[in-house]
Chain A
């Protein structure tokens, strides 16, 4: 990762907020998913979706994965 950042010569001030926002989305969805008693479909699948699909993964979980009451 450090190599990549050096190679691209990315100033941290630019990239850090973006990484932070993506992390907030990911962690929020993960916490919600793990704490939920039940999800629509297998929980492990949703965890994979949240972690592996950038940005849209957490969105899909919040829209389709949550079981309201």
Chain B
């Protein structure tokens, strides 16, 4: 069986909501039935086969290709299978995802992996703003699973994140981990201003000191933390730069905060 491939026939004029096109929805459908699925684009309802050419027959391996930046909600609520996006994609990729894997070979728009609950999102490019955050108006962001970004991430990654792991190989924008409730965000590159703004619990693990640290973060000093080698060791099985980090003694400078909020969070800056 070959992967079920959805090729955009031409660049849509407006963003397309492709949330119905997830492996579990397509498992028992024939190609004509898949083609008849109605998608929303702008104020229009269109059949899938009017904008996509459909080939292949394995819905557990789904490929989106063409001008994929026009696709929003790729893999929304997905719980099984693998979705590959051959290019950059729009907003809300992997929203509410419960399991399976989404690979994006390009950049993602805002709110990628927002309110995600499980599975793996892998971005071979840059992640947009509000990666792993809550949807606007909601109060709980990512609740499980893992996101790997090989490039940079935008502002407010992990906003209101509740559980799970964000691994960012490049730089992160301002306010990383803002209003975080729990979970782990690890950033290999540089971090913008005011990381952890308003964070209640959770861990921001940094390899470089942030540009500006909020005045409501207090220095707890340098410490050897036993869980750090264990945590980094758990990344060794992943396909990421985090898997190839030198073994650490677990020594880190610990800043606690945000003291203007609950203050149980921490920013750990690894000591080489």
Instruction: Please indicate whether A and B come from the same complex rather than being unrelated chains.
Output: no
Chain B positions within 8 Å of A, measured between CB atoms, are none
